[in-house]
Amino acid sequence: MKLINKYKAYVFLLLIFGSIILAENQIEGRWHLVGYEENIMYEFQNNLRYSIYSIDGVFGDIDEAGATPSPYYILDDIITIDLHFGNIVNYQMFFHCNNNIVDFIDIDSNILHSTMFKEDFNYNNNDCYDNNENCYDLSNIDFGLCDMFLGVGWNGSECENFSGCGWVVEDIDYSDLFFESMDECQANCNLLNCEDGFIEINGLCFSEIDISIIQKMIDNSYESEIDLDCNGSPYCGSPNPYFDSEEFWGYLMYDDSTYQFWGNDNGIVEPLELGIQKWENGRLTDLDCGAYIYCQLSGPIPFEINYLTELKRFRVEGNYFDGYVPYTICDLEINYNDYIDFDLSYNRLCTPFPSCIDIDNDFWGQFDEECSDIGDINNDYFINILDIITLITYILENNNLDYQLLVVSDLNSDSILNILDIVLLTNMILGIN
């Protein structure tokens, strides 16, 4: 009898250990995050989750991963991820399509948190999974005339509350096809067919371009590796990790409706979590990341900011943006002289500012101690023969300079580097006006 019990215990432990190993093997690899396929990739490797970012869908390896990798461990189908600073999350994993798709279900709320698919898997065009396989059309099932609440179900076009006499009809148990809440049903079933150039995120359509520009602000902040002297504060960093917290007090407005469900505690700040935003018809119209919101953005302002063609309000005062303000910012339809709508003050931005910005206004103060003077092309805080050599190299090699370098090298501001800039730089060194 003791031998049988030992055998049973051995089999039980083997099954548990086997399930853990199976789940770990299933999750290992590189995964795209649905809704952010072009921007975020997670790589699970040796009990560490790496976050890799992109603005064009091209992802590097883990050597290019942003932030510190998050440790994780798995018990059965439950994954526990340490997001650092005391933030630990638990998700139940459901794998589909030969383990090419995984749903993460929040343990506490029992609501779908996110979906990922493996690198090189065609998520949108496959025969095994249609994004809403659990959304069975229950509208033609006769559950009886009783008033007992059965749950929230899918009626073929939207989620609704179903009542009846029971979940079993003609010996078929439909109980697994119901959701516990309207939010859970809508998160799983209300999939939109967004127009070209728009992506569906949490049941809404957003401009891919607008999302990518916000993502670039976030990427530039992570890549700057700026030291904010946080002294151990969990909500100090660039960008501010507080925006990823479910405790964040901010909101997003979409077509006059307010949403406050973007913070997901996944360890990274995502585009729709940044600051306070307003969207109309899927386009970004307002981005408030000013001093009182503490976005703590850093690095350069994206040169492509002019692609935010519907932007009417851009408040980023009191951040850590550095370098030069791209001239493309003047393509926006913003009142540049009204600090309620437009404010870049108290960053680390360098002059000269683009022509649309009136530097005589009181609110353009900058912490510009690290700015290079025009002509200091090699950024050594001296204007001398070395800068001429560097300029000649740029001209001969026909380098496509980024905006930051072009500003300090293009002495006559004609957007072309040529002999005229060399002459002006030489005169500057010799003290000739």
pLDDT score for 129: 44
For residue 87, what is the enclosing H or E element?
none
- Please indicate, yes or no, whether residues 182 and 203 belong to a single structural domain of this protein: no
**What are 1's two structure tokens?**
């009898």
Per the domain annotation, does 131 fall within a domain?
no
Residue 37 class from Cβ within 10 Å (0-12 exposed, 13-18 middle, 19+ buried)? middle
Q: Identify the domain containing residue 267 by its residue range.
A: 198-364
Q: pLDDT band at residue 226, thresholds of 50, 70 and 90? A: very high
Tell me which of 99, 118, 137 is where a domain ends.
Answer: 118
Strands (E), 213-319: 252-254, 257-259, 276-280, 283-288, 298-299, 313-315
Per the domain annotation, does 87 fall within a domain?
yes
Indicate if the pLDDT at residue 4 is higher than 60. Answer: no
State the Cα–Cα distance between residues 379 and 365, nearest whole angstrom.
22
Q: pLDDT band at residue 111, thresholds of 50, 70 and 90? A: low
- Please indicate, yes or no, whether residues 236 and 347 belong to a single structural domain of this protein: yes
Tokens 């204007």 found at: 383
Average pLDDT on 412-416 reads 80
Which amino acid is present at 182? M
Tell me the C-alpha to C-alpha distance, in Å, between residue 219 and each of 83, 202, 243, 302: 18, 22, 15, 10
- Please indicate, yes or no, whether residues 183 and 202 belong to a single structural domain of this protein: no
- Please indicate, yes or no, whether residues 55 and 173 belong to a single structural domain of this protein: no
Torsion, Cα 343 345 348 350, to 10 degrees, reads 80
- Please indicate, yes or no, whether residues 156 and 250 belong to a single structural domain of this protein: no
- End-to-end, the C-alpha distance of the chain in Å comes to 103
- Please indicate, yes or no, whether residues 279 and 412 belong to a single structural domain of this protein: no
State the Cα–Cα distance between residues 94 and 101, nearest whole angstrom.
8
Nearest to 332 by CA among 323, 341, 340: 341
State the Cα–Cα distance between residues 332 and 12, nearest whole angstrom.
65
- Please indicate, yes or no, whether residues 202 and 185 belong to a single structural domain of this protein: no
State the Cα–Cα distance between residues 96 and 117, nearest whole angstrom.
9
- Please indicate, yes or no, whether residues 216 and 324 belong to a single structural domain of this protein: yes
Q: pLDDT band at residue 14, thresholds of 50, 70 and 90? A: very low
pLDDT score for 8: 42
Note the Cα 274 to chain centre separation in Å.
8
- What is the per-residue pLDDT across 38-65, written as a single tens digit (0 to 9) for each? 888 899 998 999 988 887 888 888 887 7
Contact at 8 Å (CB) between 152 and 180?
A: yes
**What are 266's two structure tokens?**
């996944």
Average pLDDT on 100-114 reads 77
- Structural domain count of the chain: 4
**What are 309's two structure tokens?**
């063609």
Other C-beta atoms closer than 10 Å to the C-beta of 203 total 14
- Please indicate, yes or no, whether residues 337 and 412 belong to a single structural domain of this protein: no
